[in-house]
Amino acid sequence: MKQYSTPHIDAAPEDFAPVVLMPGDPLRAKYIAENFLTDPLLINDVRGVQGYTGSYQGRPISVMASGMGMPSMGIYSYELFNFFGVEAIIRVGSAGAMQESVRLRDIVIGQGACTDSAFSHTFQLPGTFAPLASYRLLEHCVDAAKAAGLPYHVGNLLSSDIFYHDDPDSTAHWSKMGVLAVEMEAAALYMNAARAGKHGLALCTVSDHLLTGEATTAKERQTSFTDMIRLALDTAARI
């Protein structure tokens, strides 16, 4: 009887490429694999969290979903970094803008990830840890965004555990500190990458605006996500 390599991933280390793109949604992982990778092969489907490996511009690339929130990202990124030999994970997801200068469909590249989560407590640090992206990935990503002429911003994300917040002033508190947008996974990825000595980067397309109430349509989100996916793949190809 075939045994799972972990409780969450049924694969061998050699099934994964050194770089993994990681959307939250398993169906988006399937979409990326089928529309952007050459000869994608399904390598994991435990709990419906689909993972594929194919190639892009002749480079092996994997894509697998993280699920929603830092606990789920924490599990999958930890296992990929520590059990499957993955060297870099690039998150591709959506975010809510928290600055007027950030517009719908812009791409936010997370240089850092603030958080309201207690995730960092697991590392037993005698202070506050600042989760940062891999500069190597960040530099390649900015270069690729410039080359493609994409609208992008580099700065802090907020990785929040809370989607429906009870504090009506929560957005204002983070916005006054220059945080660009809110999502739910990047800080866990950055902390796990730091602990494993690996590379993490989060790219987010702005799907809605928390200050203006604007939101993209389903069609607009599809086009914008395509730009972000290509940017993540071009970044991976530069490593």
**Active-site residue set:** 208
Distance CA 5, CA 172 (A): 44
Instruction: Output the DSSP codes for 58-127.
Output: TEEEEEE---SSHHHHHHHHHHHHHHS---EEEEEEEEEE-STTS-TT-EEEEEEEEES-SGGGGG--SS
The amino acid sitting at 207 is S
DSSP 217: -
The pair phi, psi for residue 195, each rounded to 5°, is -65, -35
Distance CA 53, CA 59 (A): 10
Neighbours of 57 (CB within 10 A): 11
Rounded (5°) CA angle 174-170-23: 70
